Amino acid sequence: MTPNELTEAFTAVYGEAPDGVWAAPGRVNLIGEHTDYNDGFVLPIALPHAARAAVRLRADDRLRLHSAQGDGGVVELTADQVRPGAVPGWARYPAGVVWALRDAGHPVGGADIHFDSDVPTGAGLSSSAALECVVAVAYNDLWDLGLGRVELGLLAQRAENVFVGVPCGAMDQLASTCCEAGRAMFLDTRTLTARQLPVDLAAAGLRLLVVDTRVKHDLADGAYAERRSGCEKAAGLLGLPALRDLGPAGLPAALDALPDEGLRALTRHVVTENARVEAAVEAMLAGDPAALGPILTAGHASLRDDFRVSCDETDLVVETAVAAGALGARMTGGGFGGSVIALVAEADAEHVAAAVTAAFTAAGYATPRVFTALAAQGARRLA
């Protein structure tokens, strides 16, 4: 959908033209899963798939929200109704950002907004972060708030944590606001310093496939929160501010000190995953992206066996892709379904995609959606 199409759709819904059009992308994380709420490292790229929004400020403080993916109706909210826990459905993501801005002391008013997103929902590709971040950047521009990309991402994360009630880390929102085209963002989630690393897989004859298993994940279902509190408990028992503070050298002693296997497994994942991010960054800096392959597959094994957030469908994609010649593969995002990424040689891409699709048919699963990930630009104004 072009900015013109968004402008026309907005005008059809609200009867006048918008002030502008913005976009904020979904993401895939190359490596560094369930590390962001442990103060650790992540390495996401932004996808070309984005939430787009045509926005017109209102003279009052009402919000009117309409989505091309919705039921056709306009969700209308008074300022009073924009409070944590009070807004149901998809509208809580944009409304949450307006709440977070007001709660942070920005006296922003209302707006009419028309959304159109092509980020698959429930696929572990951060469709909700995209909806949040597009509102954050639009409001920043229209209200001349002067907020930086990191601040906007953190405001969107706060909307998700407090307004929506999902205790996520900051990766998805910061990927959506801060990623750059053609680059992967190596982010230290403790210091919030980011290094933008060139990622030119095509030049190395490689491709990154995304396989959306179509198994819907729902981070609000408690399993995510359980993992997070388990990690915090382990860090507390070890006398550390966060599991980030434990390096591979200290891991054996820490595992001996922890009282149960569940906490040991969570800790083992976080420590080894942070090390995998650092190894992936080294491979990229050395101009050897093919070396990412085994790192991805090892990351998946850790998420499956230690962190226990994979599922039969994501495991099947990883096994099938690797058996069909992928250099490596892993689930990406929160888990419990969602998507898998597979690093493949250009020449093997079709074969790997066909093998995964055939394996799903044989297992009686729905046909997965397969596409090539390109590192796209973070949130921005389109018109």
Task: State in angstroms the smallest separation of the CB of 73 from ligand GLA.
Answer: 28
C-alpha triplet 246, 251, 252: angle, nearest 5°: 155
Q: Does 328 bind ligand GLA (CB under 6 A)?
A: no
* SS3 state of residue 322: helix
Q: In the chain, which ranges are E strands?
A: 20-29, 41-42, 44-57, 63-67, 75-77, 111-117, 183-188, 193-198, 206-212, 328-332, 339-345, 369-372, 380-381
315 is catalytic: no
Task: State in angstroms the smallest separation of the CB of 34 from ligand GLA.
Answer: 5
- Which residues ranging from 17 to 56 are in contact with ligand GLA (CB under 6 A)? 33-34, 36-37
* SS3 state of residue 5: helix
Task: State in angstroms the smallest separation of the CB of 118 from ligand GLA.
Answer: 18
- Rounded to whole angstroms, the Cα distance separating 79 from 63 reads 8
- Rounded to whole angstroms, the Cα distance separating 14 from 257 reads 61
Sequence-distant (≥ 6) Cβ neighbours of residue 141 within 8 angstroms = 20, 22, 381
Residue 331 CB-half CA count within 13 A: 30
Using the contact rule CB under 6 A, the part of the chain among 47-55, 72-80, 166-174, 323-331 near ligand GLA is: 166-174
Catalytic residue among 112, 116, 172, 348: 172
Q: Could you tell me if 154 and 170 are in contact, meaning their C-beta atoms sit under 8 angstroms apart?
A: yes
Q: Which of 110, 299, 333, 368 binds ligand GLA (CB under 6 A)?
A: 333
Task: State in angstroms the smallest separation of the CB of 338 from ligand GLA.
Answer: 9
Using the contact rule CB under 6 A, the part of the chain among 46-54, 106-114, 164-172, 286-294 near ligand GLA is: 164-172
Query: Residue 67 or 126: which CB sits closer to ligand GLA?
Result: 126
Tell me the chain's radius of gyration from C-alpha atoms.
Answer: 21
How many residues touch ligand GLA (CB under 6 A)?
11
DSSP state at residue 217 = -
Task: State in angstroms the smallest separation of the CB of 325 from ligand GLA.
Answer: 27
Q: Which of 18, 26, 334, 378 binds ligand GLA (CB under 6 A)?
A: 334
65 φ, ψ to 5°? -125, 130
Q: Which of 171, 174, 270, 277 binds ligand GLA (CB under 6 A)?
A: 171
Query: Residue 43 or 87: which CB sits closer to ligand GLA?
Result: 43
**Binding residues for ligand GLA, per CB under 6 A?**
33-34, 36-37, 168-169, 171-172, 219, 333-334
Active-site residue set: 172
